[in-house]
């Protein structure tokens, strides 16, 4: 093959390879983010204490007691890292505080109301008032300490 043709074709081959790799990664990660954070019960045993919120029930959910709300989206890789941390925290402290999630893609007006500009953002509410805010992935111990601080 002529070197001039190779020079013109090589960037196209590289670009196609990059696009294929990106598509493969997207396909792999989009499947792992499909789990829902709603309570799943099997034989009357609750396996998740993280509740999915929506616009209709949001204000009522945060109005009483301590409620941690995770503002997240399915496409957000750090949000997928935060999810198992919240699941573990909720399992340990569901009797002290409610651990909830709100999808910002589905409920952007609520995220805007609380000034959420990056995700994951976690806001701790006490009786309807925001008392603490975390941006980015947070460790279980950090969140637990904040919750215990407001008991």
Angstrom distances, CA of residue 98 to CA of 44, 56, 92: 20, 17, 11
Which residue in the list 79, 93, 110, 119 is annotated as catalytic? 79
Of 118, 140, 141, 143, residue with least CA distance to 132 = 143
**What does the alpha-carbon distance between residue 57 and residue 63 come to, in Å, rounded to a whole number?**
10
Looking only at Cα atoms, what is the longest distance across the chain? 75
| Residue 101: alpha-carbon gap to chain centroid | 7
Which residue in the list 61, 66, 76, 124 is annotated as catalytic? 76
Task: Confirm if 84 and 139 have CB atoms less than 8 A apart.
Answer: no
79 labelled catalytic: yes
Q: Find all residues with CB under 8 Å of 34, minimum gap 6, and list them.
A: 74
76 labelled catalytic: yes
DSSP letter at 105 equals T
Provide the annotated active-site residues. Answer: 76, 79
């Amino acid at each position: 093959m002529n070197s001039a043709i190779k020079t013109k074709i090589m960037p196209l081959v590289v670009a196609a390879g990059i696009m294929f790799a990106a598509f493969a990664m997207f396909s792999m990660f989009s499947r792992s983010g499909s789990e829902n954070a709603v309570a799943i019960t099997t034989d009357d045993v609750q396996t998740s204490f993280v509740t999915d919120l929506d616009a209709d029930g949001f204000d009522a959910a945060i109005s009483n007691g301590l409620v941690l709300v995770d503002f997240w989206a399915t496409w957000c890789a750090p949000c997928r890292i935060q999810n198992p941390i919240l699941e573990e925290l909720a399992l340990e402290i569901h009797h002290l505080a409610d651990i909830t999630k709100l999808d910002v893609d589905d409920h952007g007006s609520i995220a805007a109301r609380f000034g959420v500009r990056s995700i994951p953002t976690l806001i701790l509410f006490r009786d309807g008032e925001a008392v603490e805010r975390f941006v980015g992935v947070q460790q279980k111990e950090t969140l637990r300490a904040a919750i215990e601080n407001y008991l």
